[in-house]
Amino acid sequence: MTTAVEKGYVFARLEELEPAPLIAPDATDDGRRRFDVRRMFDITGFGVQAFNAPSGVDVIRAHDETLLGEAGQQELYIVLQGAATFEIDGESIEAPAGSLVHVQPTTTRKATAKDDGTTILVVGGTPGKAYEPYPEEAAEAFAAYNAGDYETALAKQRVVLETRPEDPIVHFNAGCFAARAGLADEAIEHLRQAVEINERIKELMATDEDLDSIREDQRFAELAN
């Protein structure tokens, strides 16, 4: 990467960047690649990342930007290379290179690559809120989780908690990692704090397989009800 930070800018080509680790739980390698543009450029004012995928693979996986009943980021998708078919709330949109697609938080969307090497840049931010980037340890925690190293995942998540102690999802994930690591007491405590911050965490607790090892614990039952 060519940089000139002392001049107030950084320059790079996307193909020069290293793909970021897979962070989704149970992620499999289907040829899709994520590039953590925000972290690579040390951007703190807004979220930005890029995805690249071969033909037929969802370069943007189906999702919306709501969680625990709250709307999150507006997102702008910019097709840099190739072409994609977007499906947005049941409507199909053909998006060749150069297309821009803006999607509101509550809207379900996905984009499937039509050409090999289809690349989409995603820029996002939550209306009315300052952008709060997660620390690097958040991605490292999920990378360790996907590798089956639950103790390291938990250690990384503890660092994340130091920076976001009022985030219920951060507590919830810590609870999941602790349960996987066989630390029932710590798992229950993280889940207790998550529920105290936002009771809708119970909706995630009801179905997440990471918590199966503690479901028979009376303390879990009390939290979940």
Domain map (residue ranges) of the chain: 18-125, 136-224
- Look up residue 148 and give its DSSP letter: T
Q: What is the pLDDT of residue 4?
A: 46
Alpha helices in the chain (DSSP H): 37-40, 136-146, 150-163, 168-180, 184-197, 201-205, 218-224
Question: Is the CATH number 1.20.1250.20 carried by domain 136-224?
Answer: no
Q: What is the pLDDT of residue 67?
A: 82
pLDDT tens over the chain, length 225 residues:
544 446 788 899 998 899 987 666 556 778 999 999 998 899 999 999 999 999 999 999 999 998 887 778 999 999 999 999 999 999 999 999 999 999 999 999 999 999 999 999 999 999 988 888 899 999 899 989 988 999 999 999 999 999 999 999 999 999 999 999 999 999 999 999 999 999 999 999 999 999 999 999 999 999 998
Cβ-contact 190, 184 below 8 angstroms: no
Query: Tokens 């980021």 map to which residue?
Result: 73
Whole-prediction pTM value? 0.82
Distance CA 7, CA 1 (A): 15
- Among the listed residues 46, 126, 32, the one whose alpha carbon sits nearest the alpha carbon of residue 84: 32
Q: What is the pLDDT of residue 108?
A: 96
Q: What is the pLDDT of residue 22?
A: 67
Cβ-contact 30, 125 below 8 angstroms: no
Cβ-contact 26, 148 below 8 angstroms: no
Element (H, E) at 48: strand 47-53
Six-digit token string for 111: 């984009």
The dotted CATH code for 18-125 is 2.60.120.10
The three-state secondary structure class of 189 is helix
Cα separations (Å) of 29 from 32, 34, 138? 7, 11, 20
Q: What is the pLDDT of residue 25?
A: 57
